[in-house]
Amino acid sequence: MSDLPDCPACGKQNTYPDEASFICPDCAHEWPQHAIAGEEDDVTVVRDANGNVLQDGDAVVIVKDLKLRGSSDVLKIGTKVRGIRLVDGDHDLEGRIDGVAMMLKSKFVKKA
């Protein structure tokens, strides 16, 4: 049949190449041709509020006052978090602030 990949969004086989991309006419999904199944890297890049790449063990600073869910406490702007870990999920950072483990979103921190 065809050596074109199935659409990763809807799974249909009606894809066609267009310059450097594949396009699915059924769901209008587009993806680069170099991202053929089996060649994709499952590595996610986590970036801070300024666009810097974060890695495990980095130190970050909070750039916005954050209310802690379930309490009346607030994490103040400028609070430093050392030794972060990258995790999967909605909150993509984990770190300790004053000895308490916290989950943070990378869009609210910058690399220290």
Q: Write out pLDDT tens, residues 99-112.
A: 889 999 999 999 98
Which amino acid is present at 110?
K
Q: What does the DSSP assignment read for 7-53?
A: PTTT--S--EEETTEEE-TTT--EEEGGG-TTS---PPPPB-TTSPB
Q: Give the CATH architecture of domain 60-111.
A: Roll (2.30)
Q: What percent of the chain shows pLDDT beyond 90? A: 51
pLDDT tens for each residue of 22-52? 899 998 888 888 755 454 455 678 999 999 9
**pTM more than 0.75:** no
Q: Where are the domains of the chain?
A: 1-41, 60-111
Top-tier CATH class for 1-41: mainly beta
Position 43 scores a pLDDT of 64
